[in-house]
Structure 1
Amino acid sequence: MVQAVLASIDLDALSDAEVVAFTQMVEHAGRPVDAARVGAATVVGYRSRAGLGRDSMAWRLGASHQNDLLTRLTLASRQEMKRRLALGEKVAPRVLGGQVLEPEFPAVAAALTAGELGVDAAEAIVKGLTDYKVHGRFDADQADVESAEISLVERATGSVFDRIPGPGESEPDTDTEPGVGGGVPSGFTGPIRRLRDSDGFTYPADDLRPLAVRMQALLNPDGLAPNETTLEATSTISFGELARGLHPLRGGVTPELKGVIQNLFNTFQSARSAPAFPSAEEQQRIEAGELVPGEVIDERTGGEKRADILRGILVQVAQDPRTPTMGGMPPTVMVHVNATDLLAQAGVGWIDGIDGPISMRTINQMIDNGGFQPIFFGGTGAVLGLGNKARCFSPMQRKLITARDGSCIIPGCDCPPQWTEVHHVIPWQTGGTTDVGNGVLLCWYHHHTINTAGWKIRMVNGLPQVKAPHWIDPTGRWRTPEKHRAHDPQTRRQDE
């Protein structure tokens, strides 16, 4: 019946207001079903628990374990079944010594059953407070923990849930209803029920997580300092195996270290580039998040930007003279490629200590910036000699190019100059010289994509000119980058 009604609705024909109302309606209608899914999975899981042996429901139905049975019954993923079971353990009634006890999270359970709390929000509350429940990692007053749970449920649902009078208890002879103020317990011992609408704001599931963190600080303020020390000792960063061209980065950092990293990312991450000396009007538009004429949108995702920022930071640290050396040399990425492959622009290269190969395009980019040094081998594979370093811009050449270009010459790029690389405008493979008149500054991203993203660069009278891809500049004009402030007439003092 419900399916037929939903199928009869033409969503494209609805007005904006009707689509909004419909979206909210189906979300609320689906919550009781989601709660029933969690409940059903919990019962199946309990009847299929490992300790039952051959009496397990899973065993009797030919499944290997509870998750196997659930995935066969629902055709959902194992991850989803684990998710439902984990939540169900926290919101289902408990049995102890033959006595049925209320759920570990009674307010969450009541809101789920009432169809007012979504599964995502329930998980956020449960995960945020589990360590503070009985037998959790931290000692906390359980009345305060329940108060925090009730408060979070109220903020997630817009409804006040609290305990109703138990046996021998009666409503107080006042006009004040239980639970007034959000999270203030009624003092009753009966079951938790919905009492009324809340006067406060409601929050989506993602916003409940930081709210739960605030609750944690209130529940156990003395436990934060030793916990921080413990986490500091176990913070870790590691690399996974190469998969689809990427090494997954794994680990965890403390809130303090995340703050340092996040501030670095926020400092450099921007989808727009502001003029060196914006006018008052331009500055207002920048602060309002609007585009300034002449800007180019950076279409990289946030994750791609953060990876490029991290690369720039690490490269800068590696080049810092204060960085510890290895064998008398600064940290240097050593790439090996066969000379025949390099000349033919075919094949791949290999980085010392890394399993996966790198493409010839990446090799050319690294040579473009850092040069190369030939090693001569004999017929038996013995090293015969080491050639001179070639195709590498000297530190003085880089200073001169930086003085001219300022930073990455691609319009709209706000990469700091110290993170840029020097690019041969005429490739060294085709006879391009390694001198100031053939080098320009590019950030790693634009250097890596210069041959594929549609940007063109040429040198005219010793100055670079750039032509944007057609979708950015349909005129196809060559334009001189307006980069270094010292060479911009608008930023120089004019003689009167």
Structure 2
Amino acid sequence: MNSVVAQIESLDETLASAVREMFATETIPDLAGEDIAALLVATGKLQRRLEGLQVEAAVQVSERSQGIRDERLTTAYGCARPTEMVRMLTLSDSRSANKRMKAAGFVQRVRGITDGVFLPPRYPMLRDAMISGDLGLEGFLAATEPLEAAGTRITASARIEADRQLGAFARGIYSDLDSGSDAVQGPLPTPEELRALATVLVAYLDPDGAEPSDDVAQRERSFTIGRVRNGTARVAGNLLPEVAAQLKLLMDSSLNPQVDGPQDLGVHFVPSEDEALGDDGSCPDTTYVDTRTRTQKQHDAFASMVNVAARAGDVSDLGGAAPTLIVTANAEDYATGTGWGTVVNTGDLVPMSVAAQTACAGGIQRVLFDENGRIVSLGTSARIFNALQRRAIVIRDGGCVVPGCMIPATWCEVHHVQEHAAGGPTHTDNGVLLCWFHHRTLHLSHWQVRMRDGLPEIRGPEWWDRERRWWPARKSRPKARQPVWPVASDQ
């Protein structure tokens, strides 16, 4: 057996022995944090080195699988194509094998006819970074894909210069080309960072390439909303870059609204006997636990955006009025909180709790019918907080009043604390700000809201306050009237 293969197999045996011992003695669960990080760094470098060897082997598979069929390497191993051989021998899937073969095409070298010396590959510096173990397969493809997408619009000399800069960056070598300063060894970049640099280089090397790309993007832009299945409607499409960027900014402003300081959890509480005051005499902050996944939070942020747009008054009219979501429900079902409501423009069924929520949010209308189909109640502007009321409530509450929720006021809906159907007035003393998520789920959660002397008070679940007392929403109390911490009410 070739000494190279023997060395790799010897290393594998050593690694296998070490790994078996680690798992047998449960070493990894007892490692310190810095050792866990070091383990990930070391295994990442091993993986990159192995990927470099696999790509180089894939080059040979490609070269030796040409010519007469009976003489091909793939034929000897019973494979139809080089990709299939790589997939079978590495026990990888087709996608991973295709990536290895794609990279092999970019690092493949041709021997000179006269002297037999290897000529440089298409990306020599990136190949060197793979050989050194600094660059893995994903990073290599991330760096080359933008350049390959530009095609012949980039000259060979320009591609070589891009390869030089990307290769240096892939090895963590940083230098200021304009000032001519000495290179500095820094941290290795991620594939995303390599792709970003490659994209910037392409923009400089191919300034005219954006126009045809934009033409393609204009043709492929789309946005569709599917039918409701199992309670949700699937959304799909292709957004233009500037639209996607604006949407991400809006979502970020909702998911992480306080970017200039630590999160203010909103409420402090008086410590019980087994909870001491802090060194400065203050009480510990409440802890807010949000169990939503990030994708669920993004959905709720998007829902808030839709509701903000609906009440903004700047969108086109439909039938002479602002676009209004109409949810119909049977009056008896609505009174008992059972049954289903119907979204008029789609025909989709929604739980009665959603029909109840529509009574509070602007740009939404509720229609109630009796058992014979007669209209017995029609949501009007009297049930919706007007602009002046909303502005006053926004100033008072400052955002969603649920402790720990950092959704800003402009994204919130105004909630009737006492339901309008139960006689609750559409008045600032009966309205509080809730984000879309807490407005939608308030009846399902252990959070409760009430008004006292025109200010909202909060009662939380037991994990938040074991005694489940009522607390003034700190963001709602004028600063001049705020003590060190609000005093809870047991009434």
TM (norm. structure 2) is 0.69
Count the aligned residue pairs. Answer: 429
1:37 counterpart letter in structure 2: Q
C-alpha displacement of 1:4? 0.8
Secondary structure of the equivalent of 2:185? coil
Q: Per-residue CA shift, 1:178-223, capped at 9, x if unaligned? A: xxx6999xxxxxxxxxxxx963323322322222222223322x32
* Most deviating of 316-325 and 342-351: 342-351
Map 1:450-489 to 2 at 5 A: 450-484=442-476, 487-489=478-480
Secondary structure of the equivalent of 1:448? helix
Tell me whether 1:34 sits opposite 2:48 in the alignment.
Answer: no
Tell me whether 1:252 sits opposite 2:239 in the alignment.
Answer: yes
2:451 counterpart letter in structure 1: M
Map 1:337-486 to 2 at 5 A: 337=329, 342=334, 345-352=337-344, 354=346, 357-369=349-361, 370-375=364-369, 386-390=375-379, 394-395=383-384, 399-400=388-389, 403-404=392-393, 405-406=396-397, 407-427=399-419, 431=422, 433-436=424-427, 438-484=430-476
Matched with 1:6 is: 19
Tell me whether 1:84 sits opposite 2:75 in the alignment.
Answer: no
C-alpha displacement of 1:372? 1.5
The one of 289, 300, 306 aligned to 1:308:
300
Q: Per-residue CA shift, 1:14-39, capped at 9, x if unaligned? A: 55555554443332222232223345
Structure 1: runs of 5 or more not aligned: 161-180, 185-196, 277-291, 379-383, 492-496
Matched with 2:167 is: 153
Higher RCO (Cα < 8 Å, 6 or more apart): 2
The one of 153, 158, 163 aligned to 1:139:
153
Give the aligned CA root-mean-square deviation in angstroms: 4.6
Tell me whether 1:210 sits opposite 2:196 in the alignment.
Answer: yes
C-alpha displacement of 1:447? 0.6
Closer, same or farther in 2 for the Cα pair 1:113/1:476, shift >3 Å? same
Map 1:176-325 to 2 at 5 A: 199-205=184-190, 206-220=192-206, 222-223=207-208, 226-227=211-212, 229-230=214-215, 233-234=218-219, 236-239=221-224, 241=226, 245=232, 247-254=234-241, 256-268=242-254, 269-270=256-257, 294=285, 297=288, 299=290, 303-325=295-317
Q: Per-residue CA shift, 1:402-431, capped at 9, x if unaligned? A: 5254343223444343432232334567x4
Distance 1:95 1:346 in 2: 78
2:103 counterpart letter in structure 1: L
Closer, same or farther in 2 for the Cα pair 1:261/1:19, shift >3 Å? closer
Closer, same or farther in 2 for the Cα pair 1:237/1:455, shift >3 Å? farther
Matched with 2:6 is: none
Distance 2:439 2:68 in 1: 62
Secondary structure of the equivalent of 2:142? helix
Maintained 8 Å contact 2:79/2:85: yes
C-alpha displacement of 1:389? 0.8
2:53 counterpart letter in structure 1: A
Secondary structure of the equivalent of 1:450? helix
Maintained 8 Å contact 2:330/2:369: no
Matched with 1:288 is: none
Matched with 1:127 is: 145
Maintained 8 Å contact 1:367/1:392: no
Closer, same or farther in 2 for the Cα pair 1:353/1:93, shift >3 Å? farther
Matched with 1:191 is: none
Closer, same or farther in 2 for the Cα pair 1:216/1:403, shift >3 Å? same
Distance 1:366 1:95 in 2: 73
Aligned residues: percent identity? Answer: 22
Distance 1:397 1:320 in 2: 12
Maintained 8 Å contact 1:466/1:478: yes
The one of 3, 7, 25 aligned to 2:42:
25
